[in-house]
Chain A
Amino acid sequence: MSIQDELLNHYQLDVLAEKAGGYVAAPTAESLDYTDLFFSVCQQFGIRYSQATPKERFFVDEVTRVTWAIQHGERIGENLRPAFSA
C-alpha cells in the first residue's frame, strides 16, 4: 500500500468531505436558535446529553421539540403532536 493510500485510509474525513463539497454546512439562524434551546433544556434538567441514557435523551428531545413549536406559534391539538405521544 502506498503512502497516499495509507493516508487516504487514515484521513477518511478528507475523502468524505471531498465527496460532500466540504466538512460542515454553515448553520442557519434557526438551527443556531434551536441548538441554543436544546442546550438550555439540557442545563435546566442537569442532563449531559453525551452521557445521558436513551430515556433522558428522549426527554430532552421532546421538551425541546414542543417548546420550540410553541414558541413559534404552533398549538397542541392543531398541528403540534403533544409531548411523549406517538
Chain B
Amino acid sequence: MFFDPFVIASQTGERIPVQIVPATVANLSATKGDPKWQTDWSSDYLSDPSIEKFAVKVCDGALIGLGAYQIRGKKAYVYIVYMESAPHSNQTMKPQNERSYFGIGALLIAFGIKYSIDHGCRGDIVFDAKTDELARHYESDFHAIRIPSENS
C-alpha cells in the first residue's frame, strides 16, 4: 500500500496528483497576500515551532492547501490544529461551481493519520469539528469517534 495523495479537479472529476511538503516561510506569508486566505498562517499562534505546517502543492508548484499538526501527549496522538484550502478551492470564499478542487480537506486528514503513524502515534489524530453537523459527518464517513472535552 502506498500513500499516493491526490485531489479532484472540480470541472472534470480528474485525479490530480499532489505533493505534501513542509511549508516554507514564503508559503505561510502568501496567506496574507492577494488572494488573502481566511487565516494568517504566519500568526504567532501557528508559528509555534512545535506545530508542523505542511503545504499541498500541485505539479506546477501552486499551493492549494495548508495543514498544521502537533504531536501531543508524549507521542500519544497528533492534533490537527488547523487546515485550510487555498482561496480558489476554499468552500467559504468561492461558490461551489467556481471551486478548483475537491477533496483537500479529506486529503489533509489522511495525511494527518500518516503523520501520526510516522511519528509513533499509531495513527491517532484529534481535531475539533467546526460544527456539530461536521462532527456527525466525520463520525459517519470517516469513522471518527467523539472524545470528551472540557465542556462535555
Contacts and interface: CB of A to CB of B under 8 A. Distances in A.
Interface of A: 3-4, 6-8, 10-27, 30-32, 34-36, 38-40, 42-43, 49-50, 60-61, 64-65, 68
B133 A40 contact: no
Size category, B interface: 35 or more
Given A25-B129, A26-B45, A32 B13 contact: no
Contact of B130 (A20, A32, A42): A20
Contact of B38 (A11, A22, A30, A65): A22
B10 A4 contact: yes
Interface string B53-95: 0000000000000000010111011011111100000011000
Given A13-B105, A24-B127, A26-B128, 6 more contacts: A4-B10, A25-B128, A39-B72, A40-B74, A40-B76, A49-B145
Contacts of A17: 91-92, 105, 130, 134
Contacts of A32: 70, 72, 79
Contacts of B130: 17, 20-25
Contacts, number: 126
Interface of B: 8, 10-13, 38, 45, 70, 72-74, 76-77, 79-84, 91-92, 96-97, 99, 102-106, 108-109, 124, 126-131, 133-134, 137, 141, 145, 147-150
A42 B72 CA distance: 14
- Prevailing SS type, chain A contact patch: helix
